[in-house]
Every structure is written in structure tokens, then in C-alpha cells.
A and B are shown apart, each in its own frame.
Chain A
Amino acid sequence: MLKPTLLPNTFILEGRMARIYTRSLTPGVAFFEQESAWKEGGVEYRELSPRHSKLAAALAKGCQRFGLQEGSHVLYLGASHGYTPSFVSDMVGAGGLVHCVEFSPVVMRDLVFVCEARANMSPILASAAQPREYAWRCAQVDVVFQDIAQRDQLGIFLRNVAMFLKSGGTGMLALKARSIDTSRRPDEIFRDIKRQLGERKDVTLIDYRELAPFEKDHAFFVVKKR
């Protein structure tokens, strides 16, 4: 039996926090090898694995604040092949929109195919570090989600939040400690980022999760823009 979660169009298998499903916007079509379908009451669901998605890992780790709703517009930074973005596309539904920013042409290839199959996904080949470069192909959003392995992850996130996120909107940052500094301990880096976010006037930290055992040395920060 599927039970609703805090995320729109997203369910868990009764009693199993790590078995997450979204109602499929494209029944009958699977996009990824690791993806499996579930049918219940004539509706098709796609399984979202917390081992392959930091958003799913955050849900499985009990994150309470996502800010995503049916119809939300989302700026997704680091969209890669489109795995998690395709599920965010299920979550926000046909009335929503997912702007998918990715800078590697190699993975963008797959992402374009996913976007073509889903009317609420829009691809942008650009670096998230240069938000001005793609402002004219994007719009204000309700949610900014970032998952890029870059040294300046926090700075890039904040610049995008400042430019694209509406006031009152939610920003989610999946942070990889190793790409910030390989020689410092991850928990030290997480504490440091928490402190930096706490000192800011433009955002408030509203949730924080460490993503182990799904992702090693990753943390998930959720902020609300003032």
C-alpha cells in the first residue's frame, strides 16, 4: 500500500521509508536503467531510489521541509542525466516547470531526451556559476535545488537563490564535503556551512539532514528566502 509523503505526488510503501514512488507523468515510459514501476489502483508509479538521489535520501532521512508543491516552478542546478529531475517533474505535475541546468554536454545528451519526453522540463546547457548567462532562458521560481560537486557550492547556490528564487521560496542544497575540501573532516565542513548560512540575512536555515547511509559525506540544507 502506498502512503502519501510531504512531497507532492510522492508516496512510500507502507512501513518502508526507503521505498519511494512518484506518480508517473509518462505512464509506460521508463527513462533509467535503475528505475522500476509499480501499479496500484490503475495508476503507474516510478520508484525513486535514495541511493541515486539526494532528494530521496533527504526524504528517507526525515526531512520535513521541501517547499515543493503541485504546480511549483523549480530551478534544478546540476541536473546531470535527469534522474532526480525527472522525478521532480512527476512531483510538480503538468502545471509545474523544471528548469534543468547542467554544464556537461556529455550528460546533457541524455537530459535532452528526458526533457523532450516531458512537457514540464526545460534544458539549459550552462554553468550554474554564471547565473546571468541563463537568466534570459529561465524565470523566477518557487524552489531552487542544487546538487553540483564544486568547491564553491555554497556561493553558487546563494547567487542563484538571490537571482531566481521568489521571496518566501525554498532553496535546497545537497552538499558534498569532499569537493569543498578533501583534507578537512566532513562534519567540520557541515558545521562551517551551517554557520555561514546562519549568519546570512537573505535566507533562514529551516532543515538540515546528513544523508548517510545513502550518500557518504553529504549533507542536505534547506533554506527559506526572506
Chain B
Amino acid sequence: MREILHASGAYAIAPDGVVHAKPGANAPASGEIAAQWAALPEREIPSLLHAVRASLDDDHKAALRAANIAITKEAMRASVAPDSHIIHASAAIEELDSVANRLSKRLRDWYALYYPELEREHRDHKAFVAAVLEYPRRNPASMGGEFSEEDLASALSQAQLLSTIYAQRELMLEYIERMMRLHAPNVTAVAGAMIGAQLIAIAGSLRRLASMPAGTVQLLGAETALFRHLRNRNARPPKHGVIFNHRLLQLAARERRGKVARTLADCISIAARVDYFKGGLVADALVAKVERSVKG
């Protein structure tokens, strides 16, 4: 008599192949059941599943469901990996940037009613916000209109909020840098913390990034352009996605960029594999390779 374990209970198989549920059997540990099933020949499985189904009375059904809820919850707990944090923090930066951009434009238009000269002087949003908070009172020769105390305080409170958003962005960036150096040191060295984090976010995880061909890594973040090209062959194929912002790619001469992008993607891809399999530091050689490709 052979015994087969299942998430709904235990079953006995008689030598003639007849399977029946063993009453009152406790739900065994899932690791043990999974190992037993992994060793079963594939052709035996449908008939075992048929036998399990035939024994699935209300009690076995309830046991199966309870076991699955417990197993799933455990797997959910285990699925929260460091890259989940990296992905959310990098998405948070993108949201902060887009909010900061919109609020800054609004503040510019508002504050320019009062002090247009200051608005004009600072083209960079962050510098503009800092200047507003530093010089809330304008030059008397300004061509701006009158603001009451309350008008001014309201506009300034928006500037306060923006400066908090910029500080928050710094915090998130530092966090990403720490997390990336810890969990993906090679990707961080080759791609940079932020680009590396964006690649992990688009791929969905470090594991998925590590299992992608370099050609795919090169185009991560360029999906819209890629689909446009696939649908309409007249549209030019994209050469790079988020890696476009990489320092070395920006340094490269225009006609070398395609080649540099390929080498960079190759090296990021290797770095991701080494990081995923915790293989130590190989980044120096990879960075040198990318640098060589820039010079040609």
C-alpha cells in the first residue's frame, strides 16, 4: 500500500491502483507534499487527481481550501523582497517629480503676479522655490500687483509644500542608493542607482531583469516606441530606453551611441545576473568595458 499526501489530506493507493482517502489524516506539511508530487511520474497525476476529486467531500474540500489559504498567505509574506521596496521607492520618485513639476508651474504663475522679476530670474523650479521662501517680500520697483498678507501667505504655503516635496525626493533617492548598493551592487556600479532601480521596476524584479536578454534590457522603458515600430514598420525602431540617461551614453559621440547602448545593456545584463545569484563584485571590469566603448 502506497501513501500519497495531498493538501486535502492523505490517500492510500492499493496495489491494484485503487485510491481512497485515509480518514482523519492531518494535513501534512506542504514542503513534504510538494516533494512527493515532484517525484511522481506525470502520467500518474491525472488518475490521482481523479481519486482526490472523488474523495472531496465537504470536510476534505474545507481542508483543501484552508490549506490553500494558509499556503498562499505564507507565500505572500515571503514574496516581499528587497526589490519590492526599490520598485516602490523609484515609482515614488517619479510621482514626486510629476507633482513637483505641476505645483511649481502653478506657483510660478501665481507668484509672478506679485513678483515677476524673481520668477524670471530662476529658471530651475527648485531654485525658484528656494528663492521664494528666502525673499518673500519683493523689491518696491516691481511691476507686480498688490497681495494682501493672506494672499501672500497662501502662495508661500504652496512653496513650503514644494520644498518638503524636494526634501522627500532626496530622502527617497538616498534610500534607493543604499538599497541598490546592498542588493544589486553590480547593477548599481554599471547603471547607476536610479537607472538600475528603474530597470528593476520596469522588469518587475531583479530576477526578471536577470533573465532578460541584453537586447530587451537595452529597450526597457522604450515600449511605446517599440510597439509603434512593430505595428508600423516605417516608424524607426528605438535604440534605447531608460539607459539613454546614462552618463556614459550621454558622453558618447552621437554616431557611437548605438554601439555604446548595446555594450552598456550587455554589461547591465551580466551585472544583474551576478547580483541575482549573489556572485560577488564584477563591476570594475564591466564599467571599464563600457568606458572603452565610448572612446571606440
Contacts and interface: CB of A to CB of B under 8 A. Distances in A.
B152 interface: no
A132 B45 contact: yes
Interface string A116-134: 1001111111000000110
Nearest to A164: B49
Contact of A163 (B49, B65, B230, B231): B49
Contact of B76 (A73, A97, A108, A140): A108
B50 interface: yes
A160 B65 CA distance: 20
Interface in A98-116: 105, 108-109, 112, 115-116
Contacts of A123: 68-69, 72
Interface in A145-197: 162-164, 166, 182-183
A93 to B, nearest CB: 13
A2 interface: no
Interface string B7-21: 110000000000000
B79 interface: yes
Contacts of A137: 6-7, 30, 64, 67-68, 71
B37 A135 contact: yes
Interface residues of B, number: 35
B77 to A, nearest CB: 10
A141 interface: yes
B7 A136 contact: yes
A11 to B, nearest CB: 27
B69 A112 contact: yes
Contacts, number: 87
A133 B34 CA distance: 7
Contacts of A183: 230-231
Q: Pick from A116, A124, A136, A140 the residue with the most CB of B within 10 Å.
A: A136
A194 to B, nearest CB: 24
Given A122-B65, A182-B231, A183-B231, A139 B76 contact: no
A135 B53 CA distance: 12
B61 interface: yes
Contacts of B53: 73, 139-141, 166
Interface in B112-167: none
B69 A116 contact: yes
A134 B231 CA distance: 38
Interface residues of A, number: 30
A108 B8 CA distance: 21
A138 B46 CA distance: 11
B231 A122 contact: no
B31 to A, nearest CB: 11
A105 B65 contact: no
B69 A122 contact: yes
Contacts of B48: 135
Nearest to B73: A112
Given A105-B79, A132-B42, A182-B230, A139 B49 contact: yes
Contacts of A112: 69, 72-73, 76
B56 A139 contact: yes
B8 A139 contact: yes
Given A73-B53, A112-B73, A163 B46 contact: yes
B210 interface: no
17 contacts: A108-B72, A112-B69, A112-B76, A121-B65, A125-B75, A135-B45, A135-B48, A136-B34, A136-B37, A137-B6, A137-B30, A138-B49, A139-B64, A164-B46, A166-B50, A182-B230, A183-B230
Interface of B: 5-8, 30, 33-34, 36-38, 42, 45-46, 48-50, 52-53, 56, 61-62, 64-65, 67-69, 71-73, 75-76, 79, 227, 230-231
Shortest beta-carbon contacts, A-B, top 5:
A140-B53, A105-B79, A136-B37, A139-B53, A122-B65
Given A115-B68, A123-B68, 9 more contacts: A97-B65, A112-B69, A123-B69, A135-B49, A137-B6, A139-B8, A140-B49, A166-B50, A182-B227
